[in-house]
Structure 1
């Protein structure tokens, strides 16, 4: 099995909505397992929360889960998910999707190094860095 490094995002009760949002943007295959699926819920009210969700798409894997109420949760902070490549149309489509309902921190525009670069926080609180290489100034 090849080694894979990918983001694993944690949410408080919104993992399913976030995964469905990301799936609509990136495509691929979405699989979701709940705490009930593994009889792992300490609180019956949390049985339908996401214990593990995963999107496998072209060139990406995103995993996510809900943090149960009995566990500490500080939100998503201190890390950004980075998307980079040279497929301008595809990556701009990702940018537009992620920006919907989110906050653009740095518009996606030509940066001093010649690539298009932007930063945003999506509507679920995840930070994204987007870089499109080879963009002419």
Structure 2
């Protein structure tokens, strides 16, 4: 069965960001660097940059990321948000608080007109997030 996974691009912050996301969501984090693979390092100063990382959480989330080496164009992410939602408010509230630490809240985590809870923020790494607690079904 195919899967759809967010893949985040960073400029020299992938390891720090993915370690942060592991502290938010828990789970196993695997990191491969450019230096681990022959022929992948163009600038020796970038050998320890993240070529690929994958966080797999106990909730079944899979989040991937990499650093963009100097020879490639990097742009700050824009126009895309990572969404985390569900029925259990306690863990979602916890994710919200951890993601907001050092970030910027753009819409407080509160009760929207459609019910449940919802909020939007940009985390300390410039990634936009939406966190939602589903409205109870009538």
Give the shorter-chain TM-score range. over 0.9
**What is the deviation of 1:8?**
0.1
Alignment partner, residue 34 of structure 2: 35
Render the CA deviation track for 1:21-78: whole Å, top value 9, x for unaligned. Answer: 0001100110000000112111000000000000001220000000001111111111
Alignment partner, residue 6 of structure 1: 5
Q: Unpaired runs of 5+ in structure 1?
A: none
Root mean square deviation, CA, Å:
1.2
Alignment partner, residue 72 of structure 2: 71
- SS in structure 2 of the partner of residue 31 of structure 1: strand
Alignment partner, residue 47 of structure 1: 47
Q: What TM-score, normalized by structure 2, do the two folds share?
A: 0.95
User: Is the 2:114–2:135 contact (alpha carbons within 8 Å) kept by the matching residues of 1?
Assistant: no
User: Is the 2:120–2:130 contact (alpha carbons within 8 Å) kept by the matching residues of 1?
Assistant: yes
Alignment partner, residue 133 of structure 2: 132
Alignment partner, residue 14 of structure 2: 15
Q: Unpaired runs of 5+ in structure 2?
A: none
Render the CA deviation track for 1:4-33: whole Å, top value 9, x for unaligned. Answer: 101000000000000000001100110000
Alignment partner, residue 115 of structure 1: 116
Q: What TM-score, normalized by structure 1, do the two folds share?
A: 0.95
Stretches (4+) displaced over 2 A: none
How many residues are matched? 135
